[in-house]
Amino acid sequence: MEKISIEGGKPLFGKVEISGSKNSSLSILASCLLTDKKISISGVPKLTDTFFFLELLSSFGVDIKGLNNFKNTEKKHKELNLVICSPGGDLSAAFALIDVMRGSAIPVKTTGLGMIASAGLLIFISGSPGKRILTPNTSILSHQFTWGTYGKEHELFAAQKEFDLTTTRMLKHYKKCTGLTEKKIRKYLLPPQDIWLDAMEAKNLGICDQIKEIK
C-alpha cells in the first residue's frame, strides 16, 4: 500500500481525495437487487474485487453503466525481478523454484551479482529469454552436485537411480537454457572439478544475456 511520510514538523497544506471503501461499496452495490429503479452510486473504488462483483450483479440482470471503467485498473507488474547472490544449496528446492518460475504469468528477470554458484546457477539461467543479467564483477561457480548415501543394497540401488535422474534433469535444464551441447555442459557446467567463470565467459557460454551495472 502506498503511503505518505511527513517529516520536519512543518504545517501541511493541501487537499487529499479519499477513495471509497471497498467493503462498504460491495454491501451498497448488493442492494441494487432489491429494486427495479435506477440507482446512482458514486465513490466506488476501482478495484478488481469491485469489478468482479459488478460482473456478478450483471449476471443477475442488473444493467450497469460504465462497467468497463473498472476493468484492469489495479497496478499490474510487468515483470518479476529475482536478484541472486548465492553460494548454492539444495537441488530439490532449486528445481521447485524453477518450476514456479516457468509457470509465471509474467516474465521473470534474473539479476546476478557477487557470486552465483551451484544450485544458484540453475535458478539464474531459468530467467526469461533476454532477461538474464550479470553485473560486471559477478563470479560464476559450476561443478558436479555433491552426493552420497549409505544403507542396504536395495537402498543403494534406489539412491543410484535418483542420482541418475538428477544428472539427467540438470543436463536437460542446462541444454534448454544455454543451448550448449552435452559435451560442453559436462566440460563447463558439470565438470569433475570446480570451475570459476567471469561475466564475459558466462555470456559466451549462454549463461546470461546481458552484462551491465544495476541502476
For the chain, the structural domain boundaries read 22-70, 80-211
| Residues catalogued as catalytic | 118, 143
pLDDT classification of 33: cutoffs 50, 70, 90 = confident
Per-residue pLDDT of 172-186, as tens digits, reads 999 999 999 999 999
More confident residue, 115 or 75: 115
pLDDT for position 10: 73
pTM: 0.64
State the DSSP string of 132-169.
EEE-TT-EEEE-PPP----SSHHHHHHHHHHHHHHHHH
The whole-number pLDDT of residue 146 equals 76
- C-alpha cell belonging to residue 194: 570446480
When pLDDT is averaged across residues 198-203 and rounded to a whole number, the result is: 96
φ/ψ (deg, to 5) at 104: -65, 140
The fold adopted by the segment(s) 80-211 is 2-enoyl-CoA Hydratase; Chain A, domain 1 (3.90.226)
> Tell me, what DSSP letter sits at residue 28?
H
Radius of gyration of the CA atoms of the chain, in A: 27
Grid coordinates in use for 42?
Answer: 458514486
Q: Please give the Cα distance from 212 to 199 (Å, whole number).
A: 10
Query: What does the mean pLDDT of the chain come to?
Result: 85
